[in-house]
Amino acid sequence: MKQINILFALILLLVSTNVATAELIAESAEIPYQINNSDRIIVGTVTDIQPFYDYTIVTIGVDEWLMNPLSTETITVKTKIGTNVITEDEPTFAPNETIILMLEDVNISEDRFGVVFGEPGKHPLSDRDAVMEALAAREQSQNEGNSVDEVDEMIEYPPNPVEFLTPTSDRGLDMDGDGLYDYLVVELNARTSEPRRYYLTGDLYVSMGTYEEKGMTAMEFQVIGLAPATVYLNETVKTIAVNFEGGSIRSSQIKGPYEVSISVSNGTWGFGKAMDYTTGEYDFTQFEMPDVLLSGPVRARNDAIELARMKASEIGVEIGDVEEIEIFADRGQEIWHFSFEGENFSERFVVHGNTTDDVEHWTMDAVPKSGFDIPGISVAGILVVLLGAVLLALGRRRT
């Protein structure tokens, strides 16, 4: 009887989780269609996730406005996934992930937004070039389709006030003297007639050639890495270093020369792509992940790993060897992400500061969008299996 009660309890647990469905049209997965249905587009980093019964509030720091910018630096997004409600095709978020979001206005005065078309409206950073190309094509189409009077009536965003001057250069930086580059440094010369702090984002990528799609020729890119730079500019020419860490270059297994695209924002307006540059010849085997970062609260890798292990000990999580190491930019600084071997699943630690209180942990045993991590079996299927087990148990008991 005890086994039967347990099975009934499991069924009740599954039934208590409501699963809602949503139907999306095929075009909702296409970037141009998403742009046409969006109020704004951002590049942002998840800073907080608060789940409730039937919804979740996600706080996102705005790294860059790609379309229709606002002055706010932090927004919130509400999703229809909660502790007891799961909605298909709703976006899911992970702490500290940096993504591109197609947004719809909910309440601008309170910085509240929704994600257009749910999960399809959330994009990885690798889609940034595709989004920018689609935005440029949309703007050109609008200009060509409007009369002169209509063009004059369109909202005019301020032009990019930052002037980049030649020469631009690149070099490998070997910080530990082992003959391998820890960073690829691209140095730019810039000035402005509007003195203030500016935020630069560098994309390091390679062109993978062209392909035909829907009767059009498109260019395919592979993004290797992103690097931020924050600088105060005025009328005096200043040299800016944009530093791409070597670990992502080595793991790409792609030889240079590499393409570099620099975007500019002043925190209020995003001015989009401001300059392009092609680096010299490099081989990915010339690079390595740095042992010490150029910026960030915990620069030494070993110090960051020790903090993560201390955090694991404090919260009672057993971890083994390091499985994966990544470096991400967080508000202009570099931070360490580690995946450790766990008892059943990988354990993830993100080191935001130099105490264990600044170390964030989450297990890779996360609840997927469907709510159950059983490949190929739906919620209804699970209920059928459990119900069959109950009936079988009852039948055996009668005999």
> What is the domain count for the chain?
3
pTM: 0.57
Domain of 206, CATH number, reads: 2.60.40
Tokens of 230: 């924050």
Residue with the bigger pLDDT between 396 and 43: it is 43
Domain of 335, CATH number, reads: 3.10.450
Instruction: State the CB neighbour count (10 A cutoff) for residue 276.
Output: 11
Domain membership flag for residue 238? yes
The reply to whether 27 and 85 lie within a common domain is: yes
Tell whether the model's pLDDT for residue 49 goes beyond 50. Answer: yes
As a whole number, mean pLDDT of residues 13-38 equals 65
Spatial CB neighbours of 373, under 8 Å, sequence gap ≥ 6: 365, 367
Q: Which residues of 174-201 are buried (b: 16+ CB within 10 A; e: fewer)?
A: bbeeeebbbbbbbebebbbeeeeebbbb
Tell whether the model's pLDDT for residue 375 goes beyond 50. Answer: no
Are 19 and 13 contacting, i.e. CB atoms less than 8 angstroms apart? no
Domain of 98, CATH number, reads: 2.40.50.120
Domain-ending residue, one of 332, 347, 363: 363
Q: What percent of the chain has pLDDT over 70?
A: 76
Domain membership flag for residue 142? no
- Nearest Cα neighbor of 195 from 163, 219, 226 is 163
- Nearest Cα neighbor of 224 from 255, 208, 203 is 203
Q: What is the pLDDT of residues 208-266, one digit of tens each?
A: 876 665 566 666 778 888 888 889 999 999 999 999 999 999 999 999 999 999 988 88
Domain-ending residue, one of 286, 312, 343: 286
Q: What is the pLDDT of residues 287-338, one digit of tens each?
A: 999 999 998 899 999 999 999 999 999 999 999 999 999 888 766 678 899 9
What integer pLDDT is reported at residue 382 of this predicted model?
A: 44
pLDDT band of residue 151 (cuts 50, 70, 90) is: very low
Domain membership flag for residue 292? no
The reply to whether 174 and 267 lie within a common domain is: yes
The reply to whether 256 and 168 lie within a common domain is: yes
The reply to whether 255 and 347 lie within a common domain is: no
The reply to whether 204 and 306 lie within a common domain is: no
Domain membership flag for residue 296? no
CA distances from 346 to 24, 352, 365 (A): 33, 19, 7
The reply to whether 258 and 352 lie within a common domain is: no
The reply to whether 242 and 201 lie within a common domain is: yes
Domain membership flag for residue 271? yes
Domain membership flag for residue 155? no
Q: Residue 183 carries which side chain, given as an amino acid letter?
A: Y
The reply to whether 166 and 276 lie within a common domain is: yes
Q: What is the pLDDT of residues 66-110, one digit of tens each?
A: 999 888 889 999 888 877 667 777 888 988 889 999 999 888 878
CA distances from 215 to 141, 211, 218 (A): 17, 10, 10
The reply to whether 26 and 64 lie within a common domain is: yes
As a whole number, mean pLDDT of residues 356-381 equals 55
Q: Which domain holds residue 357?
A: 301-363
